[in-house]
Amino acid sequence: MTKENLAAGLPDGFTAPPLPRRIRKHRPDWLVAYLFLAPAAAVFATFVAYPMVDGVSTAFSNQMVGQDSAFVGLANFKKLFSDPHYIRAAWNSLVLTLGVVAVKLVLGLGCAVALSQPMPMRGLLRALAFLPWAVPGLIAGLSWKWIFDEQAGILSYLAMSLHLSDRPIYWLSDPSWGLWSIGIAMIWHGLPFFTMMFLAALSSIPSDLNEAAAIDGAKPVRRFFSVILPQLKEVIFVTVMLSTIWTFNSFHMVHVLTGGGPAMRTHILPTLAYHYGIAQSKLGLGSAVLVSVIPVFLILIVLLTRRMLKDEN
Amino acid sequence: MADVRLNQIRKTFGGHQVIKGIDLDIKSGEFIVFVGPSGCGKSTLLRLIAGLEEISDGTLDIGGMRANEVPPDARGIAMVFQSYALYPHMTVRENMAFGLKLAKIPKPERDAKVRKAAAMLQLTDYLDRLPKQLSGGQRQRVAIGRAITRDPDVFLFDEPLSNLDAALRVATRIEIANLKDAMPGTTMIYVTHDQTEAMTLADRIVVLNAGRIEQVGSPMELYHRPANVFVAQFIGSPAMNVIPVESSGDRIRFPGGGENDLPAHARIVGESLQFGIRPEHLREVPQAEAAFSGTVTNVERLGEQAIVHVEIGNGTMLVAKIDNDTPARKGSVIHLAYDPARAHFFDARDQAICAA
């Protein structure tokens, strides 16, 4: 008996038929994996990686629209860090993001808790609560522009009708109101995402947890903070992180409502980048504005990814 | 120590009555088991006692006081849920102490109570673990421990063993039986669909069906003197054989032609009669002594005993639990007899006909 037949438990003299050609050559797993990955990698390289690398390299150049460019090192960044418009835009971005996300978090939790209670027409109320999320950002911005309009807008009309103000309020063109107005529009548009995420998380919490706490003597408020809220920790983290990134990058709302004005007072970093890069044709400076926030986003994205992959690992 | 009294308790969900007027007195320190098929209302009844559902009609007294409007935490109860309902973000210690903390019990006293309950349930080594770090059996013990620390007057169990595997179910059942001995003054109300749990744990069993009580009694009372066909077939495994029979004078005739004497108390004129016999009360006999003869359709051998399914004629099936040594096999003919003292008779309305 041959050694091979003995090992395979085959009778002496038995010769196995040859394997079909296509399975005789065994491809390594990693090669198969890369083959499957290749189409997505090609799309990513073309539409994500290349523009990003190009954008970063532009930030280190004096590129103007339609002109030759040269490498200028950190010159654009030095200029930005001493530019009051940049510092104001960075401050606006920070304040707007923190404020809007904080309000969305509190209101979103409140709405989710309210919409999770049994009540008549709950389905309709839920649909209405989610409606703003379905409106494209640009359309939402335009709608709010009309609402805030000092002459034709309903807010000014209401303020005067109710004698809260004796003259039109310049919601968008008054520097002290501009950021508030942008914030309100952003909250309106982004709140349904919070509500939706929290409502889904709330409905996945077993009701007997709440009932056990009730038997243990916890009143509704205590039950919410001691038993329900800790179960929402993960979804709160992920929602806040995602919303922070989206709100920070929310170009359209500011662009449509104020365009960064009046007097460059309501710019946030993405609109300032547009202002420098497109309106003033200084592509290098505009790119530098965006590249300057990459470290902040990297930290947020690493935190988010680690948390989201925690369960998977 | 508290007795629990239910007086014409009803519960309606959206116009549909699921509890249809329950009257029940549960004595202080008694271990009572609600048993019945899925949807019979046993869990709803427990939740009404716990205060987790509002009573639509009727009165509930706990410890002699009307409890209908009393919130769950003020009823002197503790409840063990089927799904354990442990707070996932709290350690075992925190889970067990949560109710005490809310009741503003001083920390040293809290710790002592938790330690005592943990020792009783062999949980001392797990006090600093999170629920997700425990096995199913350990989690259920924590849930029981959390209930014990509340020092309740009434202990409620809602199918506490349903999520456990068979071996663990037996072990935990024994622990609950021990708990009952260790807390003799505590009234315990236990919901299950498992009649073995009901039979082994209960002082009294309440058999529920479609929102009504079918019978209340001790396990042996229910086994030996079921009030109706439902109870007769629900208690005991395999279920009692109940077959329609013909009676004339002092004789009954079974489907397939067998005959036997009809006891005097079961001689009802003009009514159809049902005959009941438990599978374990049938025995294999020679043909001459047989009350039933039929063809074996299936044999389930359990080791010590065999469950034999027999077709005795006209499609009527009998199940017999007999000695495993029986030569019966699928397709063979078997002859069975019963002890008349073990026979049950039911009228056309499925109610038991009892000897005076």
* pLDDT tens for each residue of B108-154: 999 999 999 999 888 999 999 999 999 988 999 999 999 999 889 99
Nearest chain B residue to A234, by CA: B89
Is A215's CB within 8 Å of B72's CB?
A: yes
Q: Hey, how many other C-beta atoms are within 10 angstroms of the C-beta on A259?
A: 16
- Write down the pLDDT at residue B240: 96
Which residues are CB-contacts of B217 (< 8 A; sequence separation ≥ 6)?
B204, B205, B225
B81/A211 touch (CB, cutoff 8 Å), yes or no: yes
Q: How far apart are CA B41 and CA B45, in angstroms?
A: 6
Residue of A208, A210, A216, A222 to mutate, interface with B, max B Cβ within 10 Å: A216
Q: Write down all domains in chain B, each with its CATH number in brackets.
A: 4-230 (3.40.50.300), 241-346 (2.40.50.140)
From CA B164, how far away is CA B136, in angstroms rounded? Answer: 6
Please tell me the predicted confidence (pLDDT) of residue A1: 47
> What ipTM is given for this predicted complex?
0.85
Choose the closest CB to B85 out of A209, A217, A230.
A209
Residue written as token pair 């004497």: B261
Which domains occur in chain A, in start order?
83-310 (1.10.3720.10)
| Average of per-residue pLDDT across B6-24 | 94
Do A217 and B81 lie within an 8 Å CB cutoff?
no
Neighbour order of strands in the sheet with B16-26: B16-26, B4-13, B57-62, B65-66
Q: Do B292 and B259 touch, CB atoms closer than 8 A?
A: no
Contacts of A286 (CB under 8 A, 6+ apart): A273, A274, A275, A276, A277, A278, A280
In A117-226, where does DSSP find H-type helix?
122-134, 137-148, 154-161, 175-203, 207-216, 220-223
Percent of chain B with pLDDT over 70: 99
Residue-wise pLDDT tens digits, B324-345:
999 999 999 999 999 989 999 9
Structure tokens at B134: 């425990």
Question: Chain-centre distance of CA B63, in angstroms?
Answer: 25
Using the Cβ of B85 and the Cβ atoms of chain A, whether some distance falls under 8 Å is answered with yes
The position carrying tokens 């003995």 is: A6
Whether the CB-CB separation of B120 and B96 falls below 8 Å is answered with no
Per the listing, tokens 């995420």 go with A197
For the stretch A159-211, pLDDT in tens is 888 888 888 888 888 888 899 999 999 999 999 999 999 999 999 999 999 99
- As a whole number, mean pLDDT of residues A138-158 equals 90
Nearest neighbour of B72 by CB, restricted to A214, A222, A227: A214
Per DSSP, the residues of B213-261 read: EEEEE-HHHHHHS-SBHHHHHHSSSSPPEEEEEEEETTEEE-TTS-EEE
**pLDDT above 90 (res B58):** yes
CB < 8 Å to A223, chain B: none
Give the pLDDT score at B171: 87
Q: Which residues contact B308 (CB under 8 A, 6 or more apart)?
A: B296, B298, B299, B300, B319, B320, B321, B322, B326, B328, B334
Q: Which residues pair with B249 in a beta bridge?
A: none
pLDDT of residue A68: 83
Q: Is the pLDDT of residue A2 over 60?
A: no
Among B77, B83, B89, beta carbon nearest to A215: B77
Q: How far is B201 from chain A, CA to nearest CA, in Å?
A: 24
List residues of chain A with CB under 8 Å from any CB of chain B: 206, 208-209, 211-218, 222, 226-227, 230-231, 233
Searching chain A, which residue's CA lies closest to the CA of residue B75? A215
Mean pLDDT of all residues in A15-20: 63
Q: What percentage of chain A has pLDDT greater than the value 70?
A: 91
Residue A15 pLDDT exceeds 90: no
For residues B35 and B189, is the Cβ–Cβ distance under 8 A?
no
Query: How does residue B167 score in pLDDT terms, banded at 50, 70 and 90?
Result: confident
- Per-position DSSP letters for B292-319, written without gaps between them: EEEEEEEEEE-SSEEEEEEEEETTEEEE
Task: Give yes or no for residue A57 having a pLDDT over 90.
Answer: yes
**With 80 as the cut, is the pLDDT of residue A5 above it?**
no
pLDDT at A241: 92
- The residue written with tokens 């599978």 in the block is B279
Question: What pLDDT, on a 0 to 100 scale, did the predictor assign at position A21?
Answer: 59
Residue B71, pLDDT score? 94
- pLDDT mean across residues, chain A: 89
pLDDT given at position B34: 96
Q: How far is CA B312 from the centre of its chain?
A: 31
Does the distance separating the beta carbons of B99 and A215 come in below 8 Å?
yes
Q: What is the pLDDT of residue A306?
A: 87
In single-letter form, the type of residue at position B223 comes to Y
Task: Give the DSSP H or E segment for A288.
Answer: helix A283-291
The answer to whether the CB atoms of B87 and A217 lie below 8 A apart is no
**What is the structure's pLDDT at A9?**
58
Q: How confident is the model at residue B311 (pLDDT cuts 50, 70, 90)?
A: very high
